[in-house]
Amino acid sequence: MATPIRAPRINNNDDEVKVLAFDVQPGTLVKSGQIVGQIETDKAVLDVESPADGYVLGLLAKPDDVVKVGSILLWLGESPDEPMPEAPDEPKAGARALGETTAKARLLLSKHGLRADAIQPIDGRITVEAIEKHLAARGGSQSAVNRTMAPDRSPEPAPDVPGVAVSLSKEEKGMAATVLWHRDQAVAGYVEIEYDLAPWAEYAKRLQDEKGWMMSPLLSLMAWRLTQAVAKNPRLNATLLNGQRYEYATINLGFTIQAGEALYLAVVRDAGQMDEPTFVNALGDLQRRAAGHKLREAETSGATIGFSSMERWKVTRHIPILPPQTAFMVAHAAGRDGKGILGASYDHRILNGAQVVGALRHLARPATN
Amino acid sequence: MTLTKESLIAAIKAKIVDIAAQTGDDASELEPDDIIPATGLIDSTGLLDLLAWYEKTYDIPLSQEELTIDNLGSLTRMAEFVLRRKSLP
């Protein structure tokens, strides 16, 4: 006899829940207590557990569907070929006529601040291709503008004071998108530690003298050290996606570079696979091309962690804005009396202060003294 | 305009003075053989600005390996590097 798994209640005030994902598919053998999917309300995300052993006969909802509490999400049977009961006990209420949304598509939707119901599905599914088609139809500049718009917020009223509207540059739009993601998505915290400047200064100077480099490698060396800290703790290299910690498979280090009026986040991809000299050269190359405004599009996107320094302006403390879908960005600043401040903004949804302080302590000294 | 060592030194120095001024420093006393990074007149970001301008102005793409004190460490060396790359006397 088939057994239904129903949408559980999360909050007393919410009679509907949103289906986030299923971890099983028809034919899957599940055990009692096994997690079969996730649902959410505005306030919480909950794993749905199977109440019994059995084979999944079929799913009655799709990711992004909004269903009534108590409605059937899926049926379990004693054998995989058992027929699924035809009539669910009640219809889905408020279910949106949306196709399945793939995991990559959900990531892309979040990146662009888009809602799934704004996308025309392809073959009944919302895929990366469907989203890219949507963005292309709106034009490059329009999609860039969309990225800067916070979802579910009213447009700002026009100011009472007369003025002139000036279009934002591509870099300014990118900065606006970053700031809005930080405001609307991340729950940002900030911590800092004090550290001795001398070990890093001596290490960088020694290496610069040995190699005869024109540029001090100090910040590049510190950024490389950050990638090593992150490699030891993958939760630093992650974001929150649909109620789960999404740990990136690669470490892409975003490094802020001010070039004239433009502020770039140049990205060293696969930084975790690089040894120290390779990383220093790669970042140096990006920095130089950023100064000449010659960065390619792919070199300014995809950051999974960040490093920012305001030493140049003799700023002794600053709180960075988290780049979209990152959880950890280090703030380097000017030192004073032999001491410096290393800070970090972090997404408190997936990191806590102690974890961040651990990474900062790792960063506070070079690998070799 | 003919590129000479003297004209190159003057033009590069003018750029350095301009960059240094952005962070409140005065580079007007910079001598041709002073090692630029060692003077502290311009920081790493300023050096990046200088090198980007240098590549563009004199149309000499630089590789990361060429960014050494020996090649570009002073006004004189930067000027001589341009002349070498352009095979000018």
B68:A312 CB<8 A? no
Residue A78 vs residues A29, A57, A84, A88: alpha-carbon distances, Å: 9, 9, 11, 18
Sorted by where each starts, the structural domains of chain A and their CATH numbers stand as 3-77 (2.40.50.100), 173-363 (3.30.559.10)
Lowest pLDDT segment from A47-51, A316-320, A332-336, B30-34: A47-51
Q: Which residue of B has its CA nearest to A219?
A: B44
Lowest pLDDT segment from A64-73, A148-157, A259-268, A276-285: A148-157
Non-local CB neighbours of A195 within 8 Å, separated by 6+ positions: A339, A340, A341, A342, A364, A365
Within 248-287 of A, beta carbons closer than 8 Å to B belong to 257-260, 281, 284-285, 287
- Name the pLDDT band for A89 (thresholds 50, 70, 90): very low
- Name the pLDDT band for A23 (thresholds 50, 70, 90): confident
Q: Given the structure tokens 């301009």, which residue do they identify?
A: B18
Tell me the C-alpha distance between A24 and A35, whole Å. Answer: 9
* Enclosing H/E stretch for A128: helix A128-138
Average pLDDT, stretch A182-199? 94
Q: Which residue of A has its CA nearest to B78?
A: A214
Q: Which residue of B has its CA nearest to A256?
A: B45
Tell me the C-alpha distance between A19 and A41, whole Å. Answer: 9
pLDDT at A94: 39
Q: Where are the beta strands (DSSP E) in chain A?
A: 3-6, 16-22, 29-30, 35-40, 45-49, 54-59, 66-68, 72-77, 100-101, 125-126, 188-196, 238-241, 244-247, 253-259, 262-268, 305-309, 328-332, 339-347
ipTM given for this complex: 0.85
Which chain B residues are within 8 Å of A259, Cβ to Cβ?
48-49, 52
pLDDT at A131: 81
Pairing of strands A45-49, A35-40: antiparallel
B37:A214 CB<8 A? yes
Q: Which residues pair with A192 in a beta bridge?
A: A343
Is residue A362's pLDDT more than 70? yes
Is residue A101's pLDDT more than 80? no
Tell me the C-alpha distance between B87 and A363, whole Å. Answer: 46
- Name the pLDDT band for B1 (thresholds 50, 70, 90): low
Q: Of A78, A113, A116, which is closest to residue A96 (Cα–Cα)?
A: A116
Q: Report the SS3 class of residue A166.
A: coil
Is residue A151's pLDDT more than 90? no
Is residue A219's pLDDT more than 50? yes
Tell me the C-alpha distance between A222 and A227, whole Å. Answer: 9
A268 alpha-carbon distance from chain centroid: 17
Answer whether B57 touches A (CB < 8 Å). Answer: no
B56:A258 CB<8 A? no
Which chain B residues are within 8 Å of A293, Cβ to Cβ?
52
Q: What are the domain boundaries of chain B?
A: 5-85
Which chain B residues are within 8 Å of A215, Cβ to Cβ?
37, 44, 47-48, 67
pLDDT at A284: 92
Burial degree of A133 (CB within 10 A; 0-12, 13-18, 19+) = middle
Which chain B residues are within 8 Å of A295, Cβ to Cβ?
none
Neighbouring C-beta atoms of residue A250, cutoff 10 Å: 12
What share of chain A in percent tops pLDDT 70? 88
Residues B9-58 have pLDDT tens digits of: 999 999 999 999 988 899 999 999 999 999 989 988 889 889 999 999 99
B20 alpha-carbon distance from chain centroid: 12
pTM as predicted: 0.65
Encoded tokens for A231: 């490699």
B23:A211 CB<8 A? no
Answer whether A295 touches B (CB < 8 Å). Answer: no
Is residue A43's pLDDT more than 70? no
pLDDT at A37: 87
Encoded tokens for A35: 């997690």
Q: Which residue of B has its CA nearest to A216?
A: B44
Which chain B residues are within 8 Å of A255, Cβ to Cβ?
none
Answer whether B38 touches A (CB < 8 Å). Answer: no
Is residue A93's pLDDT more than 50? no
pLDDT at A92: 43
Pairing of strands A35-40, A125-126: unpaired
Average pLDDT score over chain A: 85
B51:A219 CB<8 A? no
Encoded tokens for A204: 């960088």
A219:B69 CB<8 A? no
Average pLDDT, stretch A241-262? 92
Tell me the C-alpha distance between A114 and A101, whole Å. Answer: 13
Closest partner residue to B48 among A218, A287, A313, by Cβ? A287
Contact A88, A62 (CB under 8 A): no
Contact A126, A118 (CB under 8 A): no
Q: Of A333, A353, A352, which is closest to residue A342 (Cα–Cα)?
A: A333
B48:A290 CB<8 A? yes
Residue A249 vs residues A22, A122, A234, A236, A304: alpha-carbon distances, Å: 22, 27, 9, 12, 10
Lowest pLDDT segment from A124-133, A141-150, A351-360, B8-17: A141-150
B48:A311 CB<8 A? no
Distance from CA of B18 to the nearest CA of A (A): 13
Chosen for mutation from B18, B53, B67 (greatest number of chain A CBs closer than 10 Å) is: B67
Please tell me the CATH code under which domain B5-85 is placed: 1.10.1200.10
pLDDT at A35: 84
* Enclosing H/E stretch for A197: none
Name the DSSP letter for residue A31: -
What is the DSSP annotation of B21-48?
A: HHTT---TT--TTS-HHHHTSS-HHHHH
A118 alpha-carbon distance from chain centroid: 21
B56:A292 CB<8 A? yes
Chosen for mutation from B12, B19, B39, B48 (greatest number of chain A CBs closer than 10 Å) is: B48
- Name the pLDDT band for A7 (thresholds 50, 70, 90): confident
Tell me the C-alpha distance between A12 and A107, whole Å. Answer: 30
Amino acid at position A7, single letter: A
Which chain A residues are within 8 Å of B73, Cβ to Cβ?
214
A200 alpha-carbon distance from chain centroid: 30
B71:A215 CB<8 A? no
A26 alpha-carbon distance from chain centroid: 31
Average pLDDT, stretch A310-331? 93
Distance from CA of A318 to the nearest CA of B (A): 18
Lowest pLDDT segment from A89-93, A101-105, A331-335: A89-93
- Name the pLDDT band for A3 (thresholds 50, 70, 90): confident
Q: What share of chain A is helix, strand, coil (3-state, %, to 5)?
A: 30, 25, 40
Q: Which residue of B has its CA nearest to A217?
A: B44
Neighbouring C-beta atoms of residue A16, cutoff 10 Å: 17
Tell me the C-alpha distance between B10 and B31, whole Å. Answer: 11
Which chain B residues are within 8 Å of A216, Cβ to Cβ?
37, 44
Average pLDDT, stretch A249-274? 94
- Name the pLDDT band for A292 (thresholds 50, 70, 90): confident
